[in-house]
Structures are given as C-alpha cells and as structure tokens.
Amino acid sequence: MRVLKFGGSSVASAENIEKVYAIVKDKSEEGKLAVVVSALGGVTDKLIAAGKAAAEGNESYKDILAELEERHLAEVRKLIPIANQSAVLSQVKKLLNNLESTCEGVFLIGELSKKTLDRIMSNGELLSSYIISERMKVDGLNVSLKDSRELIKSDSSFGKAVVDFETSNLRIWQYFNQATNVTILPGFVASNDIGETTTLGRGGSDYTAAIIAGALNAETLEIWTDVSGMMTADPRVVSQAYPIQKISYGEAFELSHFGAKVIYPPTIQPVLEKKIPVWVKNTFAPNDIGTLIQENGNGSDVMVKGISSINKIALLSLEGSGMVGVPGFSKRLFEALAQESVNVILITQSSSEHSICVAINEADVIKAKTAIDSEFAYEISVKKVDPLSIERELSIVALIGDKMKNHAGVSGKMFSALGRNGVNIRAIAQGSSEKNISTVINEKDVKKALNVLHEEFFETPTKQLNLFIAGVGNVGGKLLEQLQKQQQFLNEELGLNVRVVGLANSKKMAFNEEGFDLSNWKAELDKGEAMQLAAFAKHAKAKNMRNSVFVDNSASEEVAKIYSEFLRGNISVVTCNKIAAASEYENYRKLKLEARAHNVSFLFETNVGAGLPIIGTLNDMVRSGDRVRKIEAVLSGSLNFIFNNFKTGVSFEEIVRQAQTEGYTEPDPRIDLTGTDVKRKILILIRESGVAMEMNDIASEPFMPADCLDGTVDNFFLKLKEHKLVFDDIYKEAAAKGEKLKFVATYDNGKASVGLKSVAPDHPLYKLDGKDNIVLFTTDRYPDQPLIVKGAGAGAEVTASGIFADIIKTVL
C-alpha cells in the first residue's frame, strides 16, 4: 500500500486534475493506493473569507460563494463527459447549497465560531475529492471515495483538532483491509466522537496522508506538489537552487520550519515514528527524481543540505542589570508570551545573563509587548530591567544539515560570506545538535544573503560579480569589450560570473538585474532613463546585490564625490578617476577607512600609469615593511609623447596640436602642460607610501610663459606660436648638453615637486619612448638600484585592462 497526497496547486484546475489522474492510473498498476487530495487551489482562503464576511454582516459572502460555485461546476463540465455530468453536477450543487445555508446562518446571527468555520472550510476538500473520484471512474478505474471524517476521529479542538490515533488507526486498518484498488479521500478533515466536522490545522492534508500511511504501515508516502522536491533554497529568490535528492527527517523538519513550504513538519510525525519513507514529487514533472525523506537522508558527506528563511520577524530584547544571577527571568518571559499564544521562533541569551532576545512573528509584537511590559512592570519601574526593546522588519536565515556538526568552520564560513557582502547579523542561534545555524538579519538583505550563502555552500566555486559602470566612452567602451571577450575565461578559469547590471553616461542610465548583453549594450543604454547621479547611486544600493562594484571611468569631480555613498552601501569602488584619491587628505583617508569598515574595496591602480602595476607594487612593498625614501617618475604619457617628438624643425605648438589631435592630451592641453595631472599622480603615490600630503605641498616649476594659460584653448595655441623662441631655447639648452627633456615628478624624503627637466643619457628616464611612463622607487630595501616600473602609461586599451584587473581583485 502506498499513500499519495496531492496539494492545492496539483488540483487547481481541470487540466491539473488530468495530470493527477495520469499519475494515479500509472501508480495503481503497481498496487493499492490511498489518494488524499486538498481543495482546489485557493478555495480554502475563499471559504474563510466568505465565513468572515457573513459574520460581519457583509453580503459580499454571496459573491464569493457564487464564484466558488461557478468554478467547481466549470471544472466538472471540463472533466466529466456530458452523458455523466447530470448526477455529478447535482451532487456538487447539493454540497454548495449546504455551504450556502451554513453561511446564511452565520450572516443571520452575526457570529462565526471555530466549529462553524471548520464546517465551512471542510467543503473545499469534500468538493474536490468528489469531483476527482468521479473523473477517475469515467475511464473505468477501480476507484472509490471515502470520507476521511469516518476514519479519522479527533477531539473537539476546532481549527486544530487533536487526533485519537488508537480509534483512527483501527478504523483506517479495517476499511483499507477490504478497500478497492484506489481510494480517494479528502484531506484536512476529521470528526469528533459525536460526528461533528473538525479540521486538522495548517498542513492538514499532509497530516491526513501521514495518519493513513502510519496506520497502514505504508510502503511510502508520496507528497505531490508543484516543485520537483525540496530545494536547496527558495527558487523564487535563488535562481541557482536545485532539488535535494535525499534528506533526513530532521533536516526536512528544519527546512520546513524555516520557510520551505513543501511539507509541514508536525503533519508527518506518524510516518516518522514508523520510519516510512516520504517522497516529495512534482505533479507537473512526474519523471523528475524528487526528494526522498528518510531516517538517514545523508547519502554523502554533504554538510549543508539547504538554506531557508522566515520573513516578517521581530526581535524582542529584555535587558537589565537586575537580571544577572536572578533565576526565573526566562521562565517568566516565556510564560508571558505563552499565555498570549505568541510563538517563539528563536532564542539567544548572553552568558552574562544581562540580556535575552527572542524572535517572534511581527504580527504578534503588540500583544507580546503588552504581556511582557505587564509581567515585568515592577522591575522596569525600579530600573532593574530596561523597557522592552523591539526591532522590526527582520528575517531569519538558517543553514540546515545533519553533518554540519562533523565539519569545523561552517559558522565561520557562513558569517564570513555574509560579512563580505555587508549583511549585518542581529542575532545568532545554534542548537547543540548543530543541525541548524540561524541568523537574524534585516529583511531587505534576505535575497542577497540567500544567494551569497547558496553560492558559498552549494555551487561550484563560482562567484557572481555585479558591476555598475559610469562612463562608457573610450575607456569604458574598451572595458566592456574586454569583459565580453573574457566572460567565458573568467567563468571557467577563475570561477567568476561577471555581469554588468548598471550602465550610465552623461545623458542616460539603465539597469538590468540579469546582466546586459554586452554585444548590444549601447541599444539598451539608449532606452534608459535620464541620467541622475544620485538616482544611479540610490538604485545601485537598493538592488542590494552581492559582490557589487561601482566602476567610474569618468574624470568627473561630481562622480568622485559620491564614492562614499557606494562604500557605505557595501559596494566596492574601482576608478581611473584621480580626483578622489588626490582630494584633501582627510577625504582620501575617509574613503580608505570606509572601504575597510564596510569590508569592500576602494581600488584606483589606473590613477597612476594606466595599466601598469605601480600602485600595487608600492602597496606590496609598504605592507611588507619597506619604506620609500625617494620617487622619481615620468607620469604623463601625453607629456612624454610631446617632449619625445619636440625637436629641431618642429615647433612646440605643432607638436602639442598633434598630441591633442591623436588623443594623447585632454581637450584642453593646458591641463597636461601645467602639470596638474602629474601632481595628482605623484600625490597619490606619496600617500600610498604612507605619507600625509596635500596638493599644495607639491612644488610646481612652470616652463610656459604665464600668458599661455589665459583665455580660450585657441588663444593658448596662439600664445604657443608667439613664444616659439622660448620653447626652442629650452630644447636647444638640453640638446647642447646631450640631454632630453622630461616632465618629472619627484619625492625625496618628505618634499615633492613636478617640473620640466633635462636628463642625461645615463639616467633611466632618458630612454623613455613614446607615451610610456616610468617610476623609480628608492627604498630601504632598494637603496642603490631603485625598483623600476616602466611601460605604456596612457591609452584606452591599457587603462581599461587596469580597471579590469582591479575589478577582479575585489573578489579574489
């Protein structure tokens, strides 16, 4: 004998009932079946609503009943051939008329007792079981309908009746000893010793099936629902969740208690006692393996079997010095809550006994507070106990697994994963059995937390990296090209799934939580909304996605000003924009500290030398205890290009125009030629060396006449032409000594400067070609021969590659 239970989603429509029939017909060929069915999906809620409306004197209950009648009659007409419909429709109408009479009585007296509500609610299962049994008879299946109220006897605790197992087991055994091949039974319903209808409470249909399976020592209990078994996490929240093939009773109970709604733990107690295996199967994919729940569910050493959560939680905290060393406080607290039927979901108490916290459903907060305030009124009045502290909008996230107790470090791994993603833990609870590790977190963080933990414990070592990118011009465009090209490599070799989920330029911004198609990002961005920097930051934070990175490819001061917003929102910042790292030292330091405080990254390798590993190399030296004594550097690719190509026969004005045309300089070349950009770069290196310095501490040695800096860009070029002889003389003076002109940034034991210098052939700066950069670090460990970093220091391609490298560093 096997027992099958079909839930409300499985029998929600004629189409679904046909699927149920196919499963039952197939299973009936293997032996006797007891088939327990729920009400059609959503019907029980409608019946409760009708009863409550009637009790309130609201005639809308008639509309609800009319809707229910129309629905059930319509399903009969779809399921039963016309020749057989008359009798079935008549019986369905009879049941519905009885329901209408009951509701009319409630309406007239204006009262809805638990007893009457049970009678009303029972109609859902009575109707569905009758209709389904008649459908199965159509094709000649050897099937009979048995009213569960005749088999399952209970006390008169209406709404959640207590089963009389001795009587019920005997009745069930006697009936099924002579039953037909297939018996259809309504779930959820029972009756007391005088025949009054009772219901079995939440999960009642599961309970009916389990009672029957236990009484008959069934081979298996099969629970058919709309998912292919119990999942590693809620698939509506975690897209990567997958079915668990085998699980123990204990693990199943824990997962179900913490939000997995496939089964309700108390309902399958009868099969647990008999060690009857339970299969959770999918009505809509019957060939899927499903989940087998049995005494020893762990067929492997998998330590975590699932992750679950409960939302709408409140945390109640009772604190006070008067609690320390005084027995009975916990007892009084729980008794006060129990008297108000407030269910305690989680408990945690400090070892100092100074505080005790309990998690309850948010809906129970008012009556819980009233009860506790009343119980501890005296202690609060004399300040031995503080007034009850209440935190709302919380959730519980739990890791479940029998074998967690055999693996050290599970809690650490859990808390580390949550901490890296800015999920604040408000309370922790772990039973001595170590099957469950529960954390209380903010409700807004649940989706991120579940995905982070699923990624950490269930998926192949692949991390999802979510990018919000501002600036899609030369550098940003190249970055997107590189990301697209490397997607497969990153996934296969580094275990990274990099998705661009936010894009913005100066005019538009767009978001795609599933990730933009990087071959078509321009079209998607064009369809976006008007760009507003504050709104972009707000949206990125509101998404609250794990492993998030804000990438700034602009040179905007306004964008640099909002880095703090991202860092405080647990979003890493990667930027080629030098403004933030070269701003006031206090702001630079604040950003570094905020990144550390929120466990995210603030990376700006490309601020100096584009894709060259200059800052990274400097950081490694400083962290390992080396001390920088001197820095000499050519840090402007544009200026190096200009002075490498400035020679006899070519005017300085011509070569600057060429550099502007070829994109080596800013649109206004004075930004480069005044050395402002170079000052920012050397300042950043000095700060990363561990020295607090400001921009105005760096001496600047101008080489251009002052009037070149006035007026427009066009006027600037006119002045360069006017001062041709000045620039020619500078070149000739260097050439006469066999030296080359280089714009050099220097830091030497606390003093820094930038300016144009002529360097001799034996100096490492002399042979610097094209737009290359070079940095010489003289340190305690490199006192005689400086450590040199040299290479291409400008260009969209290499800058994008440097940004790309920083992005990867945020998670590796």
Sign of the CA dihedral 332, 338, 340, 345? positive
Pick the closest to residue 504 from 536, 480, 542 (CA basis).
536
CA atoms in the 13 A half-sphere facing the CB of 152:
30
Return all residues near 19 (Cβ < 8 A) that are at least 6 apart. Answer: 10, 283, 284, 286
Distance of CA 398 to the CA centre of its chain: 14
Q: Are 45 and 64 in contact (CB under 8 A)?
A: no
Token pair listed for 178: 């002579």
The rounded distance, in Å, linking the Cα atoms of 249 and 80 is 40
Beta strands 529-530 and 508-511, pairing class = antiparallel
Neighbours of 415 (CB within 10 A): 15
Q: Give the residue among 80, 69, 65, 68 at the shortest CA–CA distance from 17.
A: 80
How distant, in Å, are the alpha carbons of 8, 74, 305 from that of 131?
14, 11, 39
Does 527 qualify as catalytic in the annotation? no
Beta strands in 192-335 (DSSP E): 197-199, 220-225, 246-248, 278-282, 291-294, 306-319
Which one, of 455, 423, 461, lies nearest residue 441 by Cα? 423
Q: How many residues does the chain have?
A: 812
Asked if 156 contacts 113 with a C-beta cutoff of 8 angstroms, the reply is no
The rounded distance, in Å, linking the Cα atoms of 195 and 147 is 12
Give CA–CA dist 485/14, Å, rounded. 50
Answer yes or no: are the C-beta atoms of 141 and 28 closer than 8 Å.
Answer: yes
- Spatial distance between the Cα atoms of 418 and 438, rounded to a whole number of angstroms: 13
- From the list 681, 719, 757, 790, the catalytic residue is 681
Q: Among all chains, which residue has been given the structure tokens 């007891």?
A: 34
**Closest C-alpha to 472, from 548, 565, 551, 559:** 551
β-bridge mates for residue 4, sequence order: 35, 222
CA dihedral 438, 439, 442, 448 (to 10 degrees): -80
Strand partners, 144: 183
Asked if residue 245 lies in contact with residue 301, where contact means CB atoms within 8 angstroms, the answer is: no
The residue among 259, 228, 262, 270 whose CA lies nearest residue 245 is 228
Q: Helices 410-420 and 446-457 meet at what angle, rounded to 10? A: 130
Largest Cα–Cα distance of the chain, in whole Å?
119
Q: What DSSP character marks residue 161?
A: P
Convert 43-64 into a string of H (helix), E (strand) and C (coil).
HHHHHHHHHHHHHCCCCHHHHH
Tokens of 165: 């197992």
- CA-derived radius of gyration, the chain: 37
At residue 116, what is the residue type? T
- What is the distance between the alpha carbons of residues 570 and 294, in angstroms, rounded to a whole number? 42
SS3 310: strand
Q: Are 264 and 249 in contact (CB under 8 A)?
A: no
Q: How many beta carbons lie within 10 A of that of residue 541, not counting itself? A: 18
CB 518 within 8 A of CB 484: yes
Determine the Cα–Cα distance for residues 520 and 556; give it in Å rounded to an integer.
26
- Residue closest to 742 by CA, chosen among 722, 770, 781, 710: 770
458, 240 contact by CB (below 8 A): yes
Just list the catalytic residues: 681
